Amino acid sequence: MKPDWTPGNRLQLLCTGSEYFPALEAAIRAARVEFHLETYIYEDDDTGRRITAALCDAAGRGVAVHVMVDGFGAKDMHDFLKRQLREAGVRLLVFRPKISPLTLKRERLRRLHRKLVVADASVAFVGGINIIDDMHTPGQIPPRYDYAVRIEGPLVPAIHDSMLRLWNSVAWGHGSPGLIHRPDIAPDGTPRGTQRAALVVRDNFRHRSDIEDVYLAAIDAARDEIIIANAYFFPGRRFRQALVRAAARDVRVVLLLQGRVEYLLLHHASRALYGTLLEAGVEIHEYHKSFLHAKVAVIDGHWATVGSSNIDPFSLFLAREANVVVDDRGFAAELRVSLHRAMEEGALHVAREHWFRQPLWKRLPIWISYGVVRFLMGVVGYAREL
């Protein structure tokens, strides 16, 4: 799958919520006609309440505000926030609101994991940052380490269209009167810069493997360096083989992965893959300074991606995801510098020699967890991909 490259964009890389949320609030305040937001998590904390107040204020001045949250990710979204949004005139939809206790049923695992925003069909945001306070990280050192991109230019209409299509699909499925028959404003695709970018989405219909395919094409074309930072890294066979092939042709392959434990089972299971990768010459760095939530990559100093998609079965085979892919040396260089700084200041290098000398009591939980995850993925029909 080749990205549908669009030239003429102006992109701004945003690192952590300290840069993202002020930019998001500014976009909400500047909106005059319509505002669309999709998020997996919408937390009742300082950030969630601040964004809610801004959205309610926008609706109060006549902006058509549309907010979509995931039924599982935002299951703890306080009823007060929902009521506050709706009473202000914000249209709120919940993607797959029914949460079955049988969470391994495949349809229950198909969640909305995208983090997209479009304001007045002229400014967009794509990234991995939820509506949650980055400084409130129980058991971890703040802030969460993540990225988003602010976009102006010809790519915005594609993001706007993707959000409208999903909104109408979910609204129709709910029997909601909130269908958008036509946009409140014509999308602005006027060139604003010089950067080439594309929107790549994953769904369970026509774009089942688009994000993984774009990654694999870039990895297979790499000739110099691959840097991938990913919070939940449990790639399938195709992805692992692509990384091993790249290392075999003397490409420097660097992985920045989660060093702190959030989900114990996945944390141990993902480490079962380290041996094969280290043996092939892949560098692995575990981020310990704070909680890693990033899903980004830089390849050969010109190709980059920022988005919501992890490299794990949930993101690559089940969830709705959205990444922006960029072909621009300036943007890629900025992201590369940021990742190198993160590795130098907050990560520990996993030494190959040390890894293979680990005692049995450390290796046993890794392999047990790997077996359990493979079994669970087999239950939902995806073990063959791993």
Active site residues: 113, 115, 120, 293, 295, 300
Cβ-count burial of 355 within 10 angstroms (0-12 exposed, 13-18 middle, 19+ buried)?
middle
Rounded alpha-carbon distances, angstroms, from residue 313 to 47, 51, 287, 364:
29, 31, 21, 23
Locate 315 and state its tokens. Answer: 């993101």
DSSP result, 239-259: HHHHHHHHHHTT-EEEEEEE-
Q: Indicate the length of the chain as a whole number.
A: 386
Looking at residue 314, the DSSP 8-state letter turns out to be I
Residues 6+ apart with CB under 8 A from 182: none
Judged by phi (left if over 0) then psi (alpha if -120 to 50, else beta), residue 121 lies in left
Four-residue CA torsion sign, 167, 172, 177, 181: positive
Locate 334 and state its tokens. Answer: 């900025």
Dist CA 281 CA 117 (whole Å):
39
Rounded alpha-carbon distances, angstroms, from residue 83 to 13, 61, 115, 163:
33, 18, 22, 23
Give the Cα-Cα-Cα angle 286, 301, 330 (nearest 5 degrees): 110
Give the count of alpha carbons within 13 A of 331, CB side only: 30
Q: Which residues pair with 65 in a beta bridge?
A: 35
